[in-house]
Amino acid sequence: MTIGIDIRVLARGARTGVEEYTIDLLARLFDLDKSIQFKLFYNAYQKVFLKYPWLNLPNVELYDFKIPNRFLFISARYFNQPKIDRLLKGIDVYFNPHFFVAPVSAKCRKVITFHDLSFELHPYFFSWRKRVWQKFLMKTQREAEKADKIIAVSESTKQDLVNLYKIEPEKIKVIYSGVNEEFRIKNLELRIKEKIKKKYNLPEKFILYFGTIEPRKNLIGLIKAFELLNTKYKIQNTRYKLVIAGAKGWLEQDIFKAARESKYSRDIIFTGFVEEQDKAELYNLAELFVYPSFFEGFGFSPLEAMACGLPTIVSHNSSLPEVVGEAAIMIDPYNIDELVWAMEMVLLDKDLREQLREKGIEQAKKFSWSRCAQETLEILTEAGNKE
């Protein structure tokens, strides 16, 4: 069997949720069955050079194209060309870890992973360019309808596909993503602690958010909650600061404005992009992790935080209850007072923090990339063997 995989999501070199999913899944997938040949479709006029070890495996072949993606999207959208399977010189199954529009021949089976439908449910969280791109070039619903199988990263995403696009539930398989082994409790040496603190300008005691800087993450709400925490409550005379870590997304201007205009602006620190090798250390240095997002298809950051033994607060919406189970405090992201109450409670109650640490570590163990890869391969081979 020959499986084609679309890896265009890796062309920017970013590490948001979709890229993390693709990289971590493929690192396990290719080793599962050496008799299967994998052909990787990699395209962009300008793109990063790939350095992953799995590219050197004997059953993996990279097809590197330099077609401008805008031209490719327009051609696919309006002319249903070029056929990806033909560009890859023949495949049995085409797998897209993201819902890029991708025409294939009638004989080629198609499997697509859907991470979320936030652009349908909450279009106001996206720039006008993003909305135009989704509406006129992606054909998301049509891609879902034409796929032979769909992988949803959560039950929440599956239900959105059923409710919004009227996809048959039997066509959708929920396969949870995993968490890497590097995310765990670490007894950091003083030298490492000081190095990371200096690199990202970290204070001694801090509350952490880690993720993309964009409106959907409810960071203005988090800033307001942090202000109230400092105004109304004294946390045992400890001066906690707020660290907002991660790269800029879109429509981020109001978030930075809210931080600048806060009377606690000196206590709000933006780290910018965090390198992959520093993520676990960042979680290990924090006192509390807060993720008050309005909507998530999965939610890697809370899972990583819990794996590191960091007490966690998340929103009670979309996929987040599936990810955290009973191992985190869940709040209404529209209720600032409730978020402040949760933050104060965790910071003041030592026993509660210890319970959250223990439960979080156990909850994170339920999410395995090896299991994700095995279940994904089963779906791909099932699609490929279908007459």
> 158-206: per-residue pLDDT in tens?
999 999 999 999 999 999 999 999 999 988 888 889 999 999 999 999 9
For position 74, what pLDDT does the model report? 83
* CA dihedral angle for residue 175, residue 177, residue 178, residue 179, rounded to 10 degrees: -160
Average the pLDDT over 363-367 and give the result: 97
Residue with tokens 């693709």: 22
Residue 254 predicted with pLDDT over 70: yes
Q: How many CA atoms lie within 13 A of 28 on its CB side?
A: 19
Q: Quote the pTM value.
A: 0.91
Q: What percent of the chain has pLDDT over 70?
A: 96
For position 387, what pLDDT does the model report? 57
For position 136, what pLDDT does the model report? 63
**Can you tell me the distance from the alpha carbon of 47 to that of 263, in angstroms, rounded to the nearest whole number?**
42
Residues 101, 10: contact at Cβ < 8 Å?
Answer: no
Residue 301, helix vs strand vs coil? helix
Domain extent listing, the chain: 2-178+368-384, 190-364
Q: Does 2-178+368-384 match 190-364 in CATH topology?
A: yes
Q: Residues 190-364: name the CATH superfamily.
A: Glycogen Phosphorylase B; (3.40.50.2000)
For residues 70 and 304, the model is more confident at 304
pLDDT digits (tens, 9 = 90+) for 102-116: 899 999 999 999 999
The H or E element that residue 61 is part of is strand 60-65
Residue 237 predicted with pLDDT over 70: no
pLDDT digits (tens, 9 = 90+) for 311-347: 999 999 999 999 999 999 999 999 999 999 999 999 9
- From the options 3.40.50.2000, 3.30.750.24, 3.40.50.11740, 3.90.1720.10, give the CATH code of 2-178+368-384: 3.40.50.2000
Both tokens of residue 330? 């869940």
**What's the whole-number average pLDDT of the chain?**
92
The torsion angles phi and psi of 4, rounded to 5 degrees, stand at: -95, 135
Residue 133 predicted with pLDDT over 60: yes
pLDDT digits (tens, 9 = 90+) for 43-57: 988 889 999 999 999
The residue among 145, 125, 110, 118 whose CA lies nearest residue 298 is 118
For position 120, what pLDDT does the model report? 85
